[in-house]
A and B are shown apart, each in its own frame.
Chain A
């Protein structure tokens, strides 16, 4: 029964081994579910958040996964709007990653708020001046767009395609994809930016407060660009992870290199703007609020090293690597640079959320520390487990990587071909396969 659902022309592990793979994730899912139950039913006192640390690990990681999930909108934009057809190889994966990141973030937000049943109030009594209103509207709409984009991936399943109505529906949806990609890009632009604006508008938190450009603080634009830089890198890393787990080639190397180049271009733009923004903040915005910027870095744990790490180690360095064609041809260097980009966005979101709240504002305030409770960690692990399960099931039963079949056939051909009697130059594909086969993952 299971084999009838697996796409033709690709190899999948046995059903038993697949269930074994899902087992630890399901266990993690159950632990997370219990933690969520405690927080929802008994109250948020199960977390280590308090009146001073009103946002904790959930908001920090929500902001991070939404930035990493930006690969969905940015890949869609490049493929459907700018017609970069090489990205067809990863668009399905990008949509699934986006769906996991966004749905996971919304789920955690629903646990994080004190009265989740009142979430609809934001649509009924919206405060149009609040960045959170913009985030809520755009996030909800974009999640719907992602679900619509996910449907054709599911409907491409071998058995579902035999139902004529599904086939027609999937075909029609596919024709509309550029429209959804456009809507998704617009919505993503606004909510990625609004997430940055959430902190940039905080006049009462001089560490996060930034000058306005038009009607938005500068963090609005910095978040959009950093998400556009991190998204492609995350797609690159998750695809590589899928290759490592399945022990197969899923996309060609030129796709990785293209994703790396896009990430590099966006990242160098981000680093330049972030540097200018930081200089303006140090010299004007922060002292104007009565807080010399050096005070924020006077505490031991959050020294200036954090600024250096964010802008240089996780910004300038991977940007220069990813912009070099020679560097991108080295897979190890390419993936390391991609990982640094993702670390950079993680650190930036940490600084904007956790560091902002840890720093004192009143003259008799203390520098505060916060360590998440096991319930907070488990609730977030729930999202990771849910993501792994959804991705694994979709990968098994749908065509996530269109190049997988071609690459596996090329590999099979190479294995079956008789050994050449004289040395000759290997083709590009066989050279890649040889390199892959020789490198143990």
Chain B
């Protein structure tokens, strides 16, 4: 996946689509941004300049699908995290999760979220639940898995048509489909012909915390030098950022 930060306007449609697709329950009225279930978060960052040089960028952050020594997978004591050898997608098995939250501690992107409360939907909302995705119970960890319900549907369609491979057009995660500015490109990074592969190798493409060596499979793209510098942690953190983010 490649996200073009120059196109992202921070509307949050991706986060909403993600929640609807994956049956994420509405936040409890006492919940806050740190303990509500959210598989995708959009953060606003600024270059701290005055007008007209002032600029803001929006960074959607979710599971970065680490390839090398996947931090969450290696630490899970009961194999509740797995990496699909075909797609490379890091999956989560909530039915096997103990809820120890060690994977959340291990994740450098804070992309994992815990169900601190029982999920609750109002009657009207229950009717709108996605039947392809099982809701998670209290006490387990969950995260973005690139909409595995859609992947299964694409595989079923391919099998029904007698094909071994899915049609890339049949499998598009909800965030990609919902983005009004087409900021997110999804596909097979190993396919040299694909748009996603080309964009990941283009100038301005980068990955967050690349030096940790976990080889994330989500790339970001920007033409703005200050965003790039921020991502590479070469900008000095201001006092405001230290305490308020």
Contacts and interface: CB of A to CB of B under 8 A. Distances in A.
A139 to B, nearest CB: 12
Contacts of A130: 74-77, 102
A1 interface: no
A24 B149 CA distance: 55
A166 B102 CA distance: 44
Contacts of B204: none
A244 interface: no
Interface stretch (B8-16, B152-160, B182-190, B206-214): B206-214
Given A127-B76, A127-B78, A363-B233, A203 B139 contact: no
Interface stretch (A50-58, A67-75, A155-163, A270-278): A50-58
A362 interface: yes
Interface centre among B76, B78, B139, B235, by most A CB within 10 Å? Answer: B78
Contacts of A289: 211-213
Interface in B204-243: 208-214, 230-233, 235, 237, 241-243
A116 to B, nearest CB: 8
Contact of B101 (A54, A127, A356, A363): A54
A53 to B, nearest CB: 8
Contacts of A361: 108-110, 209
Given A54-B101, A121-B78, A363 B212 contact: no
B135 to A, nearest CB: 15
Residue among B101, B115, B241 with most chain A CB within 10 A: B101
Given A121-B98, A363-B233, A366-B242, A357 B78 contact: no
Interface of B: 28, 30, 32, 34-35, 43, 45, 59, 61, 69, 71, 74-80, 96-102, 104-110, 112-118, 138-141, 208-214, 230-233, 235, 237, 241-245
B45 A43 contact: no
A418 B123 CA distance: 89
Nearest to B110: A52
Contacts of B45: 363-364
Contacts, number: 174
Contact of B75 (A201, A206, A298): A201
B115 A51 contact: no
Contact of B77 (A45, A127, A204, A299): A127
A50 B35 contact: yes
5 contacts: A132-B100, A198-B102, A204-B109, A205-B108, A288-B211
Nearest to A206: B212
Contacts of A365: 110, 245
A195 B96 CA distance: 23
A280 interface: no
A68 B180 CA distance: 57
Contact of A203 (B28, B214, B231): B214
Contact of B43 (A52, A125, A357, A364): A364
Interface of chain B, main secondary structure: loop
A54 B102 CA distance: 8
A270 B104 CA distance: 30
Given A114-B97, A364-B45, A357 B212 contact: no
A201 B76 CA distance: 12
Given A44-B139, A131-B75, A364-B59, A51 B96 contact: no
B118 A51 contact: no
A289 B242 CA distance: 20
Given A51-B104, A52-B34, A203 B77 contact: no
Interface string A348-359: 000000001100
A126 B242 CA distance: 39
Contact of B98 (A43, A53, A122, A363): A122
Majority SS at the chain A contact face: loop
B230 A364 contact: yes
B72 to A, nearest CB: 9
Nearest to B101: A54
B95 to A, nearest CB: 9
B113 to A, nearest CB: 5
Contacts of A364: 43, 45, 59, 230, 241, 245
Interface string A34-61: 0000000001110001111111000000
Given A202-B106, A204-B107, A363-B230, A114 B75 contact: no
A290 interface: yes
Given A43-B117, A290-B232, A291-B233, 12 more contacts: A43-B138, A44-B139, A50-B35, A51-B35, A51-B104, A52-B110, A114-B139, A114-B141, A118-B96, A124-B78, A203-B106, A362-B108
Nearest to A365: B245
Interface string A262-295: 0000000000000000000000000011110001
A51 B114 contact: yes
Contacts of A113: 98-101, 139
B220 to A, nearest CB: 12
Contacts of A438: none
Given A43-B139, A115-B98, A204-B106, A362 B209 contact: yes
Contact of B235 (A45, A203, A290, A363): A363
B77 A357 contact: no
A125 B95 CA distance: 12
A356 B105 CA distance: 9
Nearest to B66: A204
A169 interface: no
Contacts of A112: 100
A367 interface: yes
Given A115-B99, A289-B211, A201 B116 contact: no
A365 to B, nearest CB: 6
B221 to A, nearest CB: 16
A26 interface: no
